[in-house]
């Protein structure tokens, strides 16, 4: 497994070792022992899956304490631009974002620690997206930030007019207005 640092503390790109031949491929998408040995000790308790079509943009989402979640995200089919934003008050990278293309072909994963908002946009005709969480979902602890917050200036790699969002995501607040109890 290859680990690539993003410049945002704790936010890591994971490249699994893929074994392939004329029959196809095999790789471990997650091995707790391997992660623990690398100091990436998470107790993942929930797996989630979504399927979305081209230009669907989901996010930016997070859960506040005590239901904050670290996530390990990957794409099974298709291609997305995955984005994480540091929302930990006191962090030297507060309000900074990192985006990475995750796809069925590159098999990359993004490890997103607690204290980050997360979202993605589908770049292929459709995408199947999988992620592990280290805490359970709680509707009462949902938080979010507008995907087009001008202070974040995220390049989603699609034309804004083509973005397909839920009504809920369209109504999210800007970062400076969002409920957020993360600190460093």
Q: What is the pTM of this model?
A: 0.95
* Domain-located, residue 182: no
Write phi, then psi, for 167 (nearest 5 degrees): -60, -40
* Domain-located, residue 183: no
Joined together, the tokens standing for residue 44 give 């993942």
Can you tell me whether residue 167 is helix, strand or coil? helix
- Percentage of the chain with pLDDT > 70? 100
- 184, pLDDT greater than 90: no
Strand partners, 93: none
Q: What is the pLDDT of residue 150?
A: 97
Residues marked active site are found at 61, 131
* Domain-located, residue 164: yes
* Domain-located, residue 30: yes
* Domain-located, residue 184: no
pLDDT (mean) for 14-34: 95
- 38, pLDDT greater than 90: yes
* Domain-located, residue 128: yes
Express each pLDDT in 92-140 by its tens digit.
Answer: 999 999 999 999 999 999 999 999 999 999 999 999 999 999 999 999 9
Which domain covers residue 11, as residue numbers? 2-177
Torsion angle (degrees, nearest 10) of CA 170, 175, 181, 182: 120
CATH code of the domain covering residue 11: 2.60.120.10
Q: How many domains does the chain have?
A: 1
Please name the residues in contact with 131: beta carbons below 8 A apart, sequence gap of 6 or more.
47, 48, 49, 71, 72, 73, 74
């Amino acid at each position: 497994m290859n680990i690539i640092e993003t410049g945002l503390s704790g936010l890591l790109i994971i490249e699994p070792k893929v074994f392939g031949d004329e029959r196809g491929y095999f790789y471990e998408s997650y091995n707790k022992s391997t992660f623990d040995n690398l100091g990436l000790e998470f107790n993942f308790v929930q797996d989630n899956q979504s399927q979305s079509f081209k230009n669907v943009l989901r996010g930016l989402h997070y859960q506040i304490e005590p239901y904050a979640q670290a996530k390990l995200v990957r794409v099974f089919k298709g291609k997305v631009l995955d984005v994480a934003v540091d929302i930990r008050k006191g962090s030297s990278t507060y309000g900074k974002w990192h985006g990475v293309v995750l796809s069925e072909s590159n098999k990359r994963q993004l490890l997103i620690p607690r204290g980050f908002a997360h979202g993605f946009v589908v770049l292929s005709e459709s995408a199947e997206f999988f992620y592990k969480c280290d805490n359970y979902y709680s509707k009462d602890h949902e938080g979010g930030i507008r995907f087009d917050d001008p202070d974040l200036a995220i390049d989603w790699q699609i034309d804004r007019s083509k973005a397909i969002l839920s009504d809920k995501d369209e109504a999210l607040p800007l970062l400076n207005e969002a409920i957020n109890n993360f600190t460093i």
